[in-house]
Amino acid sequence: MKNFKQKLRYLTKLKPFNHQYTHFLKHRDAKFWAFLWDMGTGKTKIIFDVTVHLFLNKKIDCLVLVAPNGVHKKHLTKAAPEHIHTSITYETFIYESKKIKIKKNKHLLNSFLLKNENLKIISINPDALITKQGFDVILQVLVKFNCYMVVDEFTDFKTPTSKRAKQLLKLSNYPLYKAILDGTPIQKSPMDIWVGFNFLQHGCLGHTFYMSFKNEYCKLDNFKLRNDIYKILKQSNFYKKGNLSIKESCVISDITDSIFEHMKGERLSNNNLSNLLPCDLWDCKTRLLSLSRKAYFTETSYKNLDKLNNIIYKFSSRYLKNECLDLPKSTTIDIPYYLDDKTNQLYQKLKKDLIAEYNTVTMSTPYKLTLLLRFQQLLGGFFKPDFEQDQIEISTQRVDLLLNQLSKIASDHKVLIFCKFTSEIKQIIKKLKLEYGTESTVDYYGETKAKDRESNLTEFIQNPNCKYFVANRKSGGVGLDGLQVASYVVNYSNEASSRYQLQAVDRAIRSGQKNKVTILNIYALETYDERLRDILMGNKILADEITGDKFLDLV
């Protein structure tokens, strides 16, 4: 071990894998870096290793971690002691909005902010970062210390107009060293990486404006937007005299095209509108500026991706599990079924009502997604007759199918069960405990108390009699280590994004897994369930598939 440390030239508690060692030797002093490593390939370890190296070389004295809720705690309570060498003295502070006002925590924060010889490590989740107090605390840390700032799951900030993205970018000039981490950096489109890479270095992707970046790498179109521009120009005071002549229509059409093309590159401003519009049409400026703020371009396809890949390659690395880890192969088994008569009758009625409403009312995307949730709840055995009424259990067909599958699994195997709805989780837990005893099952979802989450996770990992871990993906499917003790993963009901599906399954398929992993996918045939499964298999997002008549095809 001594020779290993000397060769590596820094203190490390656990011996790295080859890909971690290679990265450290080449890029340990990089001012900014994107770790696009697959889930389970050891991104967390390399971050702490680089932190120790920079600290020992007097380049930093503080690590700032931004990570999903729950994961930000795990980084400090579990990962830091696991990876930071015992000779390094460090202080930690976990920022939590609800607890920061408590006198004891205020005192701990003030103590943390005192400069000394120790390495400082602070963690915060994105929801806390968008609060004024959370933002101010992190800003204070960045100003006071020489910081290495790391953003885990950086695509949580992918929407440039969101408050969390704006807050993150405001902080980007303060850290001396920066890194972003994500195993699935492109979930929907190449545009997902814009915010994360601009946090690393503004303009590093070759563009300082989001729309100009989008215009270079996306084939954009939006007939409605072009039409709206044309309508605004046509309604100007100059043209209100009556029907337009052919010449006037052509002039408006040319101006419309100029404005539309400009909006692809950057948002309109009063100055550039003065250049694009003849003075007779300046009365349209206010409405056009308002339209520009709300403009959305449809991405029809992508272009120049080789160029983008070459740019990203300069300051990022990508490792896949099958390239750098020796893991047992996984198997996927589909478990399709047909709805029973009662559930099918309700499903068809709900579908008929939906079609009637769709043909008479203009539906927004959020409203469509809400309606689809009712179908998904019904497939899980629960029905809400009306938005204002309570949900009722109408079938146990799906949970009975699950119990039947679990009965075929050998008693020495552990199982992860991922659901979308709280009602499903409660139903499954009740059935499993009744069938296999109260010790057999633990939960990890929104209603699991914070103090019980860690104990439930430990119970599942260490207790041989605890066989089932029932969770929703947004709580139990992200950032948890130790779940590789399970050799079965059940997708009981699906999320609307393939990202959460992949992350949840990968809790079991990671370093430390000794058994072959079997993934069971339960879904109802000839229903929305089957359509959603096909969307996720195509690595698509539900919200992109509900435009126009595609919406009715889903149900």
Query: pLDDT tens digits, residue range 346-386?
Result: 989 888 888 887 777 666 667 777 788 888 888 888 887 76
User: Exposed e or buried b for every residue in 163-202, given b needs 16+ CB within 10 A?
Assistant: ebbebbeebbebbbbbbbbbbbbebbbbbbbbbbbbbbee
> pLDDT averaged over the chain?
85
Check residue 538 and give its pLDDT: 66
Using alpha carbons only, what angle is made at residue 442 by residues 383 and 431, rounded to the nearest 5 degrees? 45
| Tokens standing for residue 3 | 């020779």
Check residue 101 and give its pLDDT: 63
Tell me what the mean pLDDT of segment 304-312 comes to. 89
Tell me what the mean pLDDT of segment 482-508 comes to. 86
Rounded to an integer, what distance in angstroms lies between the CA atom of residue 456 and that of residue 439?
11
Cα separation values, 174 from 140, 147, 296, Å: 10, 8, 32
Check residue 543 and give its pLDDT: 45
| Stretch among 213-217, 361-365, 391-395 having the lowest mean pLDDT | 361-365
Query: pLDDT tens digits, residue range 67-108?
Result: 988 788 889 988 999 999 999 999 999 998 776 666 677 889
Q: Residue 551 — pLDDT band, cuts 50, 70, 90?
A: very low
DSSP, residue by residue, 486-504: --EEEE-S--SBHHHHHHH
Q: Residue 522 — pLDDT band, cuts 50, 70, 90?
A: very high
In CATH, what class is 2-214+307-322? alpha beta
State yes or no: pLDDT of 263 exceeds 60: yes
Rounded to an integer, what distance in angstroms lies between the CA atom of residue 36 and that of residue 52?
21
What type of residue is 399? V
Main-chain dihedrals φ then ψ at residue 470, nearest 5 degrees? -105, 125
- Three-state SS for 160? coil
User: Exposed e or buried b for every residue in 382-393, given b needs 16+ CB within 10 A?
Assistant: bbeeeeeeeeee
Determine how β-strand 382-383 pairs with β-strand 392-393: antiparallel
Q: What sign for the dihedral angle of Cα 491, 493, 498, 500? A: negative
Q: Residue 247 — pLDDT band, cuts 50, 70, 90?
A: low
Tell me what the mean pLDDT of segment 527-544 comes to. 70
| Tokens standing for residue 164 | 């969390």
State yes or no: pLDDT of 468 exceeds 60: yes
CATH of domain 327-554: 3.40.50.300
Give me the half-sphere count of Cα atoms (radius 13 Å) on the Cβ side of residue 317.
19
Query: pLDDT tens digits, residue range 315-325?
Result: 999 988 878 87
Check residue 146 and give its pLDDT: 97
Tell me what the mean pLDDT of segment 132-151 comes to. 96
Least Cα distance to 122 among 131, 132, 134, 133 occurs for 134
Q: Which residue has the higher pLDDT, 223 or 59?
A: 59
Q: Residue 393 — pLDDT band, cuts 50, 70, 90?
A: confident
**Equal CATH topology for 2-214+307-322 and 327-554:** yes
Rounded to an integer, what distance in angstroms lies between the CA atom of residue 251 and that of residue 281?
12
In the chain, where the domains are located = 2-214+307-322, 223-295, 327-554
Q: Which residue has the higher pLDDT, 151 or 252?
A: 151
Rounded to an integer, what distance in angstroms lies between the CA atom of residue 202 and that of residue 192?
15
Q: What is the DSSP letter of 320?
A: -
State yes or no: pLDDT of 243 exceeds 80: no
Check residue 102 and give its pLDDT: 63
